[in-house]
Chain A
Amino acid sequence: MLPEEITKFIGQATGVTTYKVEQGAIARYADAVGDPNPIYWDEEYAKKSKYGSIIAPPGFFGWPVRQPRSAEEPEVIMGTRRGPNFAEIGLPRVLDGGMEYDFIKPVKAGDTLTATSQIKDIRERTGSTGRMAFLIRETTFTNQDGEVVARTRSTSIHR
């Protein structure tokens, strides 16, 4: 059984983050994947495409420019997100378990996205390597025109 100090986070919003989708960041991301598609870096090519501009590879939402802040947690370290402290219950290690995406609209260079996250579930499981906790987080990305561009559902494994 997971203690209340962990399970109390189920259903909680974990903050709103703003992302800026810079053209250079898109090109570097596609390069790191090894995807040479010119739609990610060639402005002339992209202008003539059905998108009319450079787009981000599905799954890239830009770089965070504003991290969640609240009265309870005034300082948030870059790259970390609010949620339960699994180390306190003897599960200090974390692995990425997987991801589900719904791609609704293309993300374009120059977009500003707002990501809203919520912890949907936290479950305990005992596997061959011992006790583990699975945390499911859902995030909705909305662009500057108020359109939902994507929804993601990620699983982190704490062990």
Chain B
Amino acid sequence: MAEQVYWEDVEEGMEIPPLPKIATTTMLVRWAGASGDFNPLHYDEVFAAGQGVGKPIIHGALKRQWLVHLMTDWVGEQGALKKLSCQYRAMDYPRAMKAQGQPMDGETWQCKGKIIKKYVEDGEYLVDLTIGVENGKGEVTTPGTATAALPSRG
């Protein structure tokens, strides 16, 4: 984990360190089990085709948790994630497997965040960010916002 970030160290317009993610079919199975979302949309080719999405898609909730991971890594243990929201605007498709534990070549997603507001409220040192998951083409399929409290050197 990175060094603790402090409220005084950040400025509006600053980008936070991006977090790369790769989704594979195996990871979607793992996510289904861990999250309890067994919607066949995410693992059944025939069902997904019938739902008009072509083939199994990445769970929106997994992309959301990638964004939570981006934020919790950045705020560190002394910070706190206060709010997070995101919209699932476009489908993302996992990489297929070449061998067990080995994904095919393909897309890598980037979770990104940018500070848009820095302020103090009720004694808390806060920042608002725009966040999002970008697909391999650089399109933001999962835009969102977040609010975090950071420790102050105060």
Chain A interfacial positions (CB closer than 8 Å to B):
25, 28-29, 31-35, 37, 39, 49-50, 57-59, 63-64, 79, 93, 95-103, 129, 153, 155
In the assembled complex, the Cα of A93 lies from the Cα of B52 at a distance in Å of: 9
CB–CB A100/B83 < 8 A: yes
**Residue numbers in A under 8 Å from B88 (CB-CB):** 95-98
In the assembled complex, the Cα of A96 lies from the Cα of B92 at a distance in Å of: 13
CB–CB B84/A63 < 8 A: no
Task: Pick from A31, A37, A93, A129: contact of B73, CB below 8 A.
Answer: A37
Which single residue of chain B is at the shortest CB-CB distance from A32? B34
CB–CB B72/A32 < 8 A: no
CB–CB A50/B65 < 8 A: no
CB–CB A28/B82 < 8 A: no
**Residue numbers in B under 8 Å from A59 (CB-CB):** 61, 64-65, 68, 84
Which single residue of chain A is at the shortest CB-CB distance from B67? A59
CB–CB A49/B77 < 8 A: yes
Which single residue of chain A is at the shortest CB-CB distance from B41? A95
Q: With a 10 A CB-CB cut-off, give which of B21, B31, B38 has the most chain A CB atoms.
A: B31
Chain B: minimal CB distance from A31 (Å)? 7
Chain B interfacial positions (CB closer than 8 Å to A):
1, 21, 27, 30-31, 33-38, 51-52, 59-62, 64-66, 68-69, 72-73, 77-78, 80-88, 144
In the assembled complex, the Cα of A97 lies from the Cα of B78 at a distance in Å of: 32
**Residue numbers in A under 8 Å from B35 (CB-CB):** 29, 32
The contact sample of 11 A-B pairs, CB cut-off 8 A, is A28-B33, A32-B35, A33-B62, A37-B1, A50-B77, A95-B60, A96-B59, A99-B61, A99-B86, A100-B83, A103-B81
**Residue numbers in A under 8 Å from B64 (CB-CB):** 59, 99
CB–CB B83/A103 < 8 A: yes
Task: Pick from B33, B38, B60: contact of A98, CB below 8 A.
Answer: B60
Chain A: minimal CB distance from B25 (Å)? 13
Chain B: minimal CB distance from A56 (Å)? 11
**Residue numbers in A under 8 Å from B68 (CB-CB):** 33, 57-59
In the assembled complex, the Cα of A59 lies from the Cα of B60 at a distance in Å of: 13
CB–CB B62/A63 < 8 A: no
* Top-7 shortest CB links A-B: A32-B34, A98-B87, A100-B85, A96-B60, A33-B65, A32-B31, A35-B69
**Residue numbers in A under 8 Å from B52 (CB-CB):** 93, 129
In the assembled complex, the Cα of A96 lies from the Cα of B59 at a distance in Å of: 8
Task: Pick from B36, B62, B80, B86: contact of A79, CB below 8 A.
Answer: B36
In the assembled complex, the Cα of A103 lies from the Cα of B68 at a distance in Å of: 11
